[in-house]
């Protein structure tokens, strides 16, 4: 039995743990994957206040150590088999039968990389197709690759991949980028980056491994192929909310409905970070959500009858 259960050990979840731990609450942070969240897959973080140009994994590790220093218990690679939220005590059941209970639950499960859903994407996953530049960039040293996407993640990761690849072609479905101007300027200043805009990606080409990406120009219907040894896909994330379907209000995009207070449709249950309804998704907004969720959770616990 814990005062608070936190599901998700990314920036939102770890920040919530830090605040809860400092308030002398007992906290268990569970993650279905690797502790650290999205930052561990980010080559470099350049916009975190006060800590310029820090490797993503270093920032994630520092957050984890800080949460542990305040007494948080943290467990990664947890397989969640069941959730019970309709009573004052919230319960998480693992696949091995272990049950954890808490007076409050903070959901900070983030999301998984969005896939294109085109032919051979699943076939070549791990055989030339990647969704993580930090994980796989060095496998493509001195090779030509493709980056698919046009937001902040696509451009920033394309720049980081230029340390390895000899040439990077960015394929984007629109005729303009959806990234901040600083990211656009940095990408355009990189001589290794080339652009094919306003196209529809059709399929991945290859036998045992990817050898190219086929596309179609949206205006003319003209088709082409970019020869590449690898393709990195950065087209957003799908919220990891399936576990809570039928229990909480979830919108048509899969986001848990929660306002700036992070309160969900059930008392004592909060949603923080990329999992909740919000327009801006950044490392700093995830950290802010974790702070708010923890403070509301503390208030909820202290306002309940003994």
DSSP assignment of 123-143: TTBTTTEES-HHHHGGGGTT-
Residues of the chain where predicted confidence (pLDDT) is lower than 70: 306
Q: What is the reported pLDDT for 204? A: 96
- What is the DSSP code (8-state) at residue 243? G
Q: What is the reported pLDDT for 306? A: 67
Q: What residue spans define the domains of the chain?
A: 2-112+237-303, 115-233
Indicate the CATH number of 115-233 among 1.10.10.10, 3.50.50.60, 3.30.450.40, 3.40.50.300: 3.50.50.60
Contact 98, 79 (CB under 8 A): no
Question: Going by C-beta distance under 8 Å and a sequence separation of 6 or more, which residues neighbour residue 88?
Answer: 103, 268, 304
Q: What is the reported pLDDT for 163? A: 94
What is the spatial distance between Cα 223 and Cα 244, in angstroms, rounded to a whole number? 42
Under CATH, what is the fold of the domain 2-112+237-303? FAD/NAD(P)-binding domain (3.50.50)
Active site residues: 132, 135-136
Q: What is the reported pLDDT for 235? A: 94
What is the spatial distance between Cα 120 and Cα 108, in angstroms, rounded to a whole number? 32
E runs forming strands in the chain: 2-7, 27-30, 73-75, 80-84, 90-94, 99-107, 111-113, 129-130, 144-148, 167-171, 193-196, 199-206, 210-217, 223-227, 230-233, 237-239, 269-271
Q: What is the reported pLDDT for 305? A: 78
């Amino acid at each position: 039995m814990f005062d608070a259960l936190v599901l998700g050990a990314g920036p939102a979840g770890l920040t919530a743990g830090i605040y809860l731990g400092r308030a002398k609450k007992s906290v268990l942070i569970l993650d279905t994957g690797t502790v650290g969240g999205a930052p561990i897959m980010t080559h470099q973080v350049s916009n975190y206040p006060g800590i310029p140009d820090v490797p993503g994994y270093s920032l994630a590790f520092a957050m984890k150590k800080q949460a542990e220093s305040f007494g948080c218990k943290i467990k990664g690679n947890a397989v969640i088999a069941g959730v019970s939220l309709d009573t004052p005590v919230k319960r998480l059941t693992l696949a091995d039968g272990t049950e954890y209970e808490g007076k409050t639950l903070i959901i900070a499960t983030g999301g998984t990389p969005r896939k294109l859903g085109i032919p051979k994407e699943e076939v070549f996953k791990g055989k030339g197709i990647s969704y993580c530049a930090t994980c796989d960039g060095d496998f493509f040293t001195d090779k030509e690759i493709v980056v698919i996407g046009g937001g902040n993640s696509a451009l920033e990761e394309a720049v980081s991949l230029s340390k390895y690849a000899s040439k990077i072609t960015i394929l984007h479905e629109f005729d303009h980028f959806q990234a901040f101007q600083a990211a656009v300027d940095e990408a355009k200043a990189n001589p290794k980056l080339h652009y094919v805009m306003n196209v529809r990606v059709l399929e991945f080409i290859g036998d045992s491994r990817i050898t190219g990406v086929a596309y179609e120009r949206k205006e003319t219907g003209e088709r082409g192929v970019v020869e590449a040894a690898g393709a990195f896909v950065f087209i957003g994330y799908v919220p990891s909310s399936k576990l809570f379907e039928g229990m909480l209000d979830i919108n048509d995009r899969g986001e848990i409905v929660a306002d700036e207070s992070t309160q969900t449709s059930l008392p004592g249950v909060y949603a923080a970070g990329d999992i909740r309804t919000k327009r801006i998704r950044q490392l700093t907004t995830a950290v802010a959500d974790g702070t708010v969720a923890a403070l509301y959770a503390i208030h909820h616990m202290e306002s309940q009858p003994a």
